Structure 1
Protein backbone atom coordinates (compact mmCIF):
# COMPACT_ATOMS: atom_id res chain seq x y z
CA UNK A 1 0.00 0.00 0.00
CA UNK A 2 2.85 2.37 0.83
CA UNK A 3 4.41 1.74 -2.58
CA UNK A 4 1.18 2.70 -4.33
CA UNK A 5 0.92 6.00 -2.42
CA UNK A 6 4.57 6.70 -3.21
CA UNK A 7 4.01 6.09 -6.94
CA UNK A 8 0.90 8.28 -6.95
CA UNK A 9 2.80 11.13 -5.26
CA UNK A 10 5.67 10.74 -7.72
CA UNK A 11 3.21 11.12 -10.59
CA UNK A 12 1.04 13.93 -9.12
CA UNK A 13 3.83 16.21 -7.85
CA UNK A 14 5.54 16.79 -11.23
CA UNK A 15 2.15 17.45 -12.85
CA UNK A 16 1.25 19.96 -10.12
CA UNK A 17 4.59 21.73 -10.43
CA UNK A 18 4.26 21.86 -14.23
CA UNK A 19 0.74 23.30 -13.89
CA UNK A 20 1.89 26.00 -11.45
CA UNK A 21 4.77 27.01 -13.68
CA UNK A 22 2.73 27.16 -16.88
CA UNK A 23 -0.39 28.87 -15.50
CA UNK A 24 1.48 31.49 -13.45
CA UNK A 25 -1.16 31.89 -10.72
CA UNK A 26 -2.10 35.46 -9.99
CA UNK A 27 -1.12 36.78 -6.63
CA UNK A 28 -1.81 40.09 -4.96
CA UNK A 29 1.62 41.52 -5.76
CA UNK A 30 1.58 45.02 -7.19
CA UNK A 31 3.34 45.69 -10.49
CA UNK A 32 6.83 47.11 -10.12
CA UNK A 33 7.17 50.65 -11.44
CA UNK A 34 10.08 51.13 -13.83
CA UNK A 35 13.05 52.90 -12.32
CA UNK A 36 13.62 56.44 -13.49
CA UNK A 37 16.80 56.80 -15.53
CA UNK A 38 19.31 58.96 -13.71
CA UNK A 39 21.35 61.41 -15.74
CA UNK A 40 24.88 60.10 -16.25
CA UNK A 41 27.46 61.67 -13.97
CA UNK A 42 29.83 64.12 -15.62
CA UNK A 43 32.48 65.91 -13.56
CA UNK A 44 32.68 69.67 -13.76
CA UNK A 45 35.35 71.22 -15.95
CA UNK A 46 37.20 73.77 -13.79
CA UNK A 47 37.26 77.31 -15.10
CA UNK A 48 40.91 77.74 -14.10
CA UNK A 49 43.73 77.55 -16.62
CA UNK A 50 45.65 74.26 -16.75
CA UNK A 51 48.56 74.21 -14.31
CA UNK A 52 50.87 72.45 -16.78
CA UNK A 53 50.98 71.21 -20.40
CA UNK A 54 52.28 67.66 -20.90
CA UNK A 55 53.95 66.39 -24.08
CA UNK A 56 55.52 63.19 -25.37
CA UNK A 57 56.75 64.64 -28.67
CA UNK A 58 53.57 63.69 -30.57
CA UNK A 59 53.60 59.95 -29.81
CA UNK A 60 49.95 59.78 -28.59
CA UNK A 61 50.43 56.48 -26.73
CA UNK A 62 48.07 57.01 -23.77
CA UNK A 63 44.56 55.77 -24.63
CA UNK A 64 41.38 57.21 -23.15
CA UNK A 65 38.89 54.59 -21.88
CA UNK A 66 35.09 54.59 -21.54
CA UNK A 67 34.91 56.64 -24.72
CA UNK A 68 32.18 54.32 -26.03
CA UNK A 69 29.79 56.29 -23.84
CA UNK A 70 30.84 59.54 -25.54
CA UNK A 71 30.90 58.44 -29.20
CA UNK A 72 28.40 61.11 -30.30
CA UNK A 73 30.54 63.87 -28.78
CA UNK A 74 33.76 62.42 -30.20
CA UNK A 75 32.14 62.03 -33.65
CA UNK A 76 31.22 65.71 -33.58
CA UNK A 77 34.74 66.70 -32.51
CA UNK A 78 36.31 64.50 -35.22
CA UNK A 79 34.67 66.65 -37.88
CA UNK A 80 34.01 65.62 -41.45
CA UNK A 81 36.38 62.93 -42.73
CA UNK A 82 34.34 61.09 -45.35
CA UNK A 83 34.85 57.33 -45.53
CA UNK A 84 38.40 57.52 -44.18
CA UNK A 85 39.35 57.36 -40.51
CA UNK A 86 39.54 60.61 -38.59
CA UNK A 87 42.86 62.12 -37.60
CA UNK A 88 41.77 65.21 -35.66
CA UNK A 89 43.95 66.93 -33.07
CA UNK A 90 42.48 68.80 -30.12
CA UNK A 91 43.76 70.31 -26.90
CA UNK A 92 42.78 68.13 -23.94
CA UNK A 93 42.20 68.99 -20.29
CA UNK A 94 42.91 66.27 -17.70
CA UNK A 95 40.87 66.73 -14.53
CA UNK A 96 41.34 64.68 -11.33
CA UNK A 97 37.78 63.56 -10.50
CA UNK A 98 37.51 63.23 -6.73
CA UNK A 99 33.71 62.85 -6.85
CA UNK A 100 33.69 59.71 -9.03
CA UNK A 101 31.63 57.02 -7.30
CA UNK A 102 33.35 54.14 -9.12
CA UNK A 103 37.05 55.01 -9.08
CA UNK A 104 38.78 56.98 -6.32
CA UNK A 105 41.72 57.96 -8.54
CA UNK A 106 39.70 58.82 -11.67
CA UNK A 107 41.03 61.37 -14.14
CA UNK A 108 38.46 62.77 -16.58
CA UNK A 109 39.43 63.84 -20.10
CA UNK A 110 37.81 66.84 -21.81
CA UNK A 111 38.23 68.00 -25.41
CA UNK A 112 36.93 71.45 -26.36
CA UNK A 113 35.09 71.62 -23.04
CA UNK A 114 33.29 68.31 -23.56
CA UNK A 115 33.79 65.08 -21.64
CA UNK A 116 35.17 62.23 -23.82
CA UNK A 117 36.28 59.59 -21.28
CA UNK A 118 38.75 58.75 -18.52
CA UNK A 119 42.27 57.52 -18.05
CA UNK A 120 42.41 53.77 -17.42
CA UNK A 121 42.40 53.22 -13.60
CA UNK A 122 46.05 52.13 -13.28
CA UNK A 123 47.15 54.97 -15.55
CA UNK A 124 44.99 57.41 -13.56
CA UNK A 125 46.65 56.33 -10.29
CA UNK A 126 50.11 56.78 -11.85
CA UNK A 127 49.06 60.16 -13.26
CA UNK A 128 47.88 61.29 -9.84
CA UNK A 129 51.23 60.23 -8.33
CA UNK A 130 52.94 62.33 -11.02
CA UNK A 131 50.71 65.30 -10.14
CA UNK A 132 51.68 64.91 -6.48
CA UNK A 133 55.40 64.77 -7.35
CA UNK A 134 55.01 67.97 -9.37
CA UNK A 135 52.97 69.61 -6.54
CA UNK A 136 49.94 69.83 -8.85
CA UNK A 137 47.51 67.65 -6.88
CA UNK A 138 43.88 68.20 -7.83
CA UNK A 139 44.71 70.73 -10.54
CA UNK A 140 43.69 70.46 -14.18
CA UNK A 141 46.52 70.00 -16.67
CA UNK A 142 46.56 69.85 -20.45
CA UNK A 143 48.06 67.92 -23.35
CA UNK A 144 47.35 67.38 -27.02
CA UNK A 145 44.82 64.71 -28.03
CA UNK A 146 44.26 62.79 -31.25
CA UNK A 147 40.89 61.42 -32.36
CA UNK A 148 41.24 58.39 -34.64
CA UNK A 149 38.78 55.98 -36.22
CA UNK A 150 35.25 56.50 -37.44
CA UNK A 151 35.96 55.28 -40.97
CA UNK A 152 33.36 53.39 -42.98
CA UNK A 153 33.53 49.61 -43.21
CA UNK A 154 30.87 47.59 -44.96
CA UNK A 155 28.60 50.62 -44.88
CA UNK A 156 28.88 51.18 -41.13
CA UNK A 157 30.79 53.85 -39.23
CA UNK A 158 33.47 52.36 -36.95
CA UNK A 159 33.95 53.66 -33.41
CA UNK A 160 36.34 56.46 -32.54
CA UNK A 161 39.23 56.42 -30.08
CA UNK A 162 41.05 59.21 -28.28
CA UNK A 163 44.81 59.12 -27.57
CA UNK A 164 46.78 61.57 -25.46
CA UNK A 165 50.28 62.96 -25.97
CA UNK A 166 51.51 62.23 -22.44
CA UNK A 167 54.71 60.42 -21.53
CA UNK A 168 54.10 56.78 -20.56
CA UNK A 169 52.96 56.55 -16.95
CA UNK A 170 54.47 54.05 -14.52
Structure 2
Protein backbone atom coordinates (compact mmCIF):
# COMPACT_ATOMS: atom_id res chain seq x y z
CA UNK A 1 0.00 0.00 0.00
CA UNK A 2 1.29 3.48 -0.79
CA UNK A 3 2.17 5.97 1.95
CA UNK A 4 -0.96 7.94 0.99
CA UNK A 5 -3.11 4.83 1.49
CA UNK A 6 -1.54 4.19 4.88
CA UNK A 7 -1.91 7.83 5.89
CA UNK A 8 -5.63 7.89 5.10
CA UNK A 9 -6.39 4.28 6.04
CA UNK A 10 -7.45 3.29 2.54
CA UNK A 11 -8.28 -0.37 2.09
CA UNK A 12 -6.71 -1.11 -1.27
CA UNK A 13 -4.60 -4.09 -0.20
CA UNK A 14 -5.75 -7.40 -1.59
CA UNK A 15 -4.58 -10.73 -0.21
CA UNK A 16 -1.64 -12.30 -1.98
CA UNK A 17 -2.76 -14.73 -4.65
CA UNK A 18 -1.71 -17.81 -2.72
CA UNK A 19 -4.05 -20.75 -2.64
CA UNK A 20 -5.53 -20.90 0.84
CA UNK A 21 -5.72 -24.21 2.66
CA UNK A 22 -8.99 -24.97 4.41
CA UNK A 23 -8.81 -24.80 8.19
CA UNK A 24 -10.73 -27.32 10.30
CA UNK A 25 -14.08 -26.12 11.60
CA UNK A 26 -14.52 -25.39 15.26
CA UNK A 27 -17.61 -25.42 17.44
CA UNK A 28 -19.35 -22.53 15.76
CA UNK A 29 -18.36 -18.96 15.09
CA UNK A 30 -16.32 -18.37 18.25
CA UNK A 31 -13.12 -16.71 17.02
CA UNK A 32 -13.56 -12.95 16.94
CA UNK A 33 -11.90 -10.59 14.51
CA UNK A 34 -10.55 -7.23 15.72
CA UNK A 35 -10.16 -3.87 13.98
CA UNK A 36 -13.36 -4.17 11.94
CA UNK A 37 -14.32 -0.58 12.76
CA UNK A 38 -11.69 0.55 10.22
CA UNK A 39 -13.19 -1.62 7.47
CA UNK A 40 -16.92 -0.91 7.74
CA UNK A 41 -17.30 -0.02 4.04
CA UNK A 42 -15.81 -3.35 2.93
CA UNK A 43 -17.93 -5.24 5.47
CA UNK A 44 -21.07 -3.40 4.39
CA UNK A 45 -20.43 -4.36 0.74
CA UNK A 46 -19.86 -8.02 1.65
CA UNK A 47 -22.92 -8.01 3.91
CA UNK A 48 -25.12 -6.78 1.05
CA UNK A 49 -23.42 -8.98 -1.57
CA UNK A 50 -24.24 -12.08 0.48
CA UNK A 51 -27.87 -11.16 1.12
CA UNK A 52 -27.60 -9.94 4.69
CA UNK A 53 -30.70 -7.92 5.40
CA UNK A 54 -32.09 -9.36 8.61
CA UNK A 55 -29.67 -12.23 9.01
CA UNK A 56 -25.97 -12.87 9.47
CA UNK A 57 -24.53 -14.02 6.14
CA UNK A 58 -22.03 -16.84 6.17
CA UNK A 59 -19.02 -16.28 3.91
CA UNK A 60 -15.49 -17.59 3.38
CA UNK A 61 -12.61 -15.72 4.99
CA UNK A 62 -8.92 -15.84 4.14
CA UNK A 63 -6.35 -15.61 6.94
CA UNK A 64 -3.15 -14.11 5.59
CA UNK A 65 0.05 -13.55 7.61
CA UNK A 66 1.09 -9.90 7.38
CA UNK A 67 4.85 -10.30 7.12
CA UNK A 68 5.73 -6.60 7.28
CA UNK A 69 3.49 -5.37 10.12
CA UNK A 70 5.57 -2.88 12.14
CA UNK A 71 3.48 -3.35 15.31
CA UNK A 72 3.09 -7.12 15.51
CA UNK A 73 5.45 -9.64 13.93
CA UNK A 74 2.72 -12.30 14.15
CA UNK A 75 -0.12 -10.22 12.63
CA UNK A 76 -2.71 -12.17 10.64
CA UNK A 77 -5.03 -10.22 8.33
CA UNK A 78 -8.58 -11.37 7.59
CA UNK A 79 -10.01 -10.91 4.08
CA UNK A 80 -13.56 -11.41 2.83
CA UNK A 81 -14.36 -11.04 -0.87
CA UNK A 82 -10.77 -9.90 -1.49
CA UNK A 83 -11.03 -6.97 0.95
CA UNK A 84 -9.24 -6.69 4.28
CA UNK A 85 -11.78 -6.53 7.10
CA UNK A 86 -9.62 -6.88 10.22
CA UNK A 87 -7.12 -9.03 12.10
CA UNK A 88 -6.94 -12.00 14.42
CA UNK A 89 -6.51 -10.97 18.06
CA UNK A 90 -2.82 -10.65 18.96
CA UNK A 91 -2.82 -13.77 21.18
CA UNK A 92 -4.59 -15.88 18.56
CA UNK A 93 -2.35 -14.55 15.79
CA UNK A 94 0.78 -15.59 17.67
CA UNK A 95 -0.58 -19.11 18.13
CA UNK A 96 -1.76 -19.27 14.49
CA UNK A 97 1.69 -18.26 13.23
CA UNK A 98 3.42 -20.74 15.57
CA UNK A 99 1.31 -23.61 14.25
CA UNK A 100 1.01 -22.62 10.58
CA UNK A 101 4.02 -20.40 9.86
CA UNK A 102 3.48 -18.29 6.76
CA UNK A 103 0.72 -20.44 5.24
CA UNK A 104 -2.56 -18.85 4.23
CA UNK A 105 -5.72 -20.45 5.55
CA UNK A 106 -9.42 -20.17 4.81
CA UNK A 107 -12.44 -20.79 7.01
CA UNK A 108 -16.11 -19.98 7.20
CA UNK A 109 -17.06 -16.66 8.73
CA UNK A 110 -20.24 -14.90 9.76
CA UNK A 111 -20.83 -11.17 9.35
CA UNK A 112 -22.73 -9.87 12.37
CA UNK A 113 -24.15 -6.50 13.38
CA UNK A 114 -25.12 -3.79 10.93
CA UNK A 115 -28.64 -3.67 12.34
CA UNK A 116 -30.59 -0.48 12.86
CA UNK A 117 -30.42 0.76 16.45
CA UNK A 118 -33.32 2.32 18.35
CA UNK A 119 -31.84 5.80 17.78
CA UNK A 120 -31.95 5.28 13.99
CA UNK A 121 -28.20 4.75 13.66
CA UNK A 122 -26.51 1.58 12.50
CA UNK A 123 -24.53 -0.82 14.67
CA UNK A 124 -21.00 -1.60 13.51
CA UNK A 125 -20.43 -4.76 11.52
CA UNK A 126 -18.29 -7.45 13.08
CA UNK A 127 -16.99 -10.86 12.00
CA UNK A 128 -16.75 -14.21 13.76
CA UNK A 129 -14.71 -17.09 12.37
CA UNK A 130 -15.50 -20.80 12.55
CA UNK A 131 -12.15 -22.56 12.94
CA UNK A 132 -10.77 -25.09 15.37
CA UNK A 133 -8.37 -23.95 18.06
CA UNK A 134 -5.52 -24.55 17.98
CA UNK A 135 -5.65 -24.10 14.23
CA UNK A 136 -5.11 -27.08 11.95
CA UNK A 137 -5.75 -27.82 8.30
CA UNK A 138 -8.36 -30.14 6.80
CA UNK A 139 -6.65 -33.19 5.26
CA UNK A 140 -6.45 -32.97 1.46
CA UNK A 141 -9.54 -34.38 -0.21
CA UNK A 142 -11.70 -34.04 2.91
CA UNK A 143 -14.14 -31.26 3.86
1:143 aligns with 2:107: yes
> Looking at CA atoms only, which structure, 1 or 2, has the larger radius of gyration?
1
TM-score by length of 1: 0.67
Is the 2:23–2:132 contact (alpha carbons within 8 Å) kept by the matching residues of 1? no
CA RMSD, 1 decimal: 2.2
Q: Find the aligned partners of 1:46 and 1:54 in 2 and give their Cα distance.
A: 21
What does 1:7-156 align with in structure 2 at a 5 Å threshold?
A: 38-40=7-9, 44-57=14-27, 59-79=28-48, 81-82=52-53, 84=54, 86-131=55-100, 137-154=101-118, 155-156=120-121
1:159 aligns with 2:124: yes
Count of residue correspondences: 127
| Higher RCO (Cα < 8 Å, 6 or more apart) | 2
In structure 1, the residue matched to 2:141 is: none
TM-score by length of 2: 0.79
Q: Return 5+ residue gaps in structure 2 as ranges.
A: 136-143
Question: Are residues 104 and 111 of structure 1, via their aligned partners in 2, closer, same or farther at CA, if it must alter by over 3 Å?
Answer: same
| Moved >6 Å (runs of 4+) | none
